[in-house]
């Protein structure tokens, strides 16, 4: 898939998604959100995709929501009778009122493939919050992030109030959101928002190096399970919940052909060839959670 908003390519197990509105600093639109969700549906269904990299074209990763609609950018609900009640109050349970960035983040959260954010430049508003449910974030030394919501008289979105404090801690999350300042790459690294900072010219090659390590050496079904086990573990209230899922997963995977191959290849000192597929070989207890409904 290739178009003017998002470019997609896959080579040797690694999918590259490029946000592609460089003339607008990759400012995010509802159409881009829909396309990104569709691409993640595609990568989940494709057994040849072992890892995903998301980056931006040109100077920016994503400069946030497209503000070309002016003051109506965040508040235009005209003509949506299901949102505005006859008395003028809002129906907060209406599907049409849902935050678009949140729909993207929730889809990223459900991904069965690991996602690496290669933050090549400015990542502001939804441009940075959409990266929070991605698994690994690396940044160019020229990158800057900004949780600028209070400066626009709105609030953090795209489920960032769930993810950001878990990644950087509550105090840092509050400080960054209160100030709305632009955060340079060294501060992003020091705060734990990104795992490493690279020279601009080596950012993408480093992202591919990380993705290659995953794609070449791990079992896809184990990666899919591990991703969901760790992310959903953040919601658990007691270690017993993790123990239950761990036990089920180890019991199922331990009896798989992949596990036998993993042990044999190790003993024989050769590269493993894992055959199980995410599309057909996920365990029968998956998914182990009930997906919450928006209401």
pLDDT at 78 over 60: no
User: Over the chain, what is the mean pLDDT?
Assistant: 94
pLDDT at 23 over 50: yes
* Cα separation values, 211 from 73, 141, 172, 270, Å: 36, 20, 29, 20
Q: Which tokens go with 129?
A: 């919050």
| Lowest-pLDDT choice from 91-100, 172-181, 190-199 | 91-100
> Distance between CA atoms of 232 and 7, rounded to whole angstroms?
30
**Antiparallel, parallel or unpaired: β 6-11 and 14-19:** antiparallel
The 10s digit of each residue's pLDDT in 129-188 is 999 999 999 999 999 999 999 999 999 999 999 999 999 999 999 999 999 999 999 999
pLDDT at 75 over 60: no
- Write down the pLDDT at residue 3: 53
Identify the CA nearest to 266 among candidates 225, 218, 226, 222: 218
Per-residue pLDDT averaged across 87-94, rounded? 89
The overall pTM is greater than 0.85: yes
pLDDT at 8 over 50: yes
Please give the domain boundaries of the chain with CATH numbers for all domains.
6-214 (3.90.226.10), 218-295 (1.10.12.10)
- At 68, the pLDDT band (50, 70, 90 cuts) reads confident
- Write down the pLDDT at residue 72: 55
């Amino acid at each position: 898939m290739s178009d003017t908003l998002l470019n997609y390519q896959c080579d040797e197990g690694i999918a590259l998604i490029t946000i592609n509105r460089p003339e607008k600093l990759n400012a995010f639109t509802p159409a881009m959100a829909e396309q990104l969700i569709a691409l993640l549906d595609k990568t989940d269904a494709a057994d040849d995709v072992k890892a995903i990299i998301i980056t931006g074209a040109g100077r920016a990763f994503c400069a946030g929501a497209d503000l070309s609609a002016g003051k109506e950018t965040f508040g235009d609900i005209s003509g949506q009778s299901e949102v505005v009640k006859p008395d003028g109050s809002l129906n907060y349970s209406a599907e049409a009122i849902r935050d678009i960035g949140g729909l993207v983040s929730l889809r990223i959260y459900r991904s069965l493939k690991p996602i690496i954010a290669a933050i090549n430049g400015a990542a502001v508003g939804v441009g940075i919050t959409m990266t929070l449910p991605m698994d690994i974030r690396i940044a160019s030394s020229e990158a800057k992030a900004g949780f600028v919501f209070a400066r626009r008289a709105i609030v953090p979105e795209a489920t960032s109030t769930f993810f950001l404090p878990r990644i950087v801690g509550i105090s840092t999350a509050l400080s960054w959101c209160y100030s709305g300042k632009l955060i340079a790459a060294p501060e992003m690294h020091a705060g734990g928002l990104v795992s490493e900072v690279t020279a601009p010219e080596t950012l993408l090659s480093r992202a591919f190096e990380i993705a290659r390590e995953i794609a070449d050496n791990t079992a896809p079904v184990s990666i899919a399970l591990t991703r969901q086990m760790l992310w959903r573990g953040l919601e658990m209230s007691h270690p017993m919940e993790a123990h239950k899922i761990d036990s089920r997963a180890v019991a199922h995977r331990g009896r798989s052909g992949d596990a036998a191959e993993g042990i044999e290849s190790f003993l024989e000192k050769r590269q493993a060839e894992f055959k199980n597929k995410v599309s057909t070989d996920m365990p029968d207890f998956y998914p182990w959670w009930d997906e919450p409904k928006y209401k």
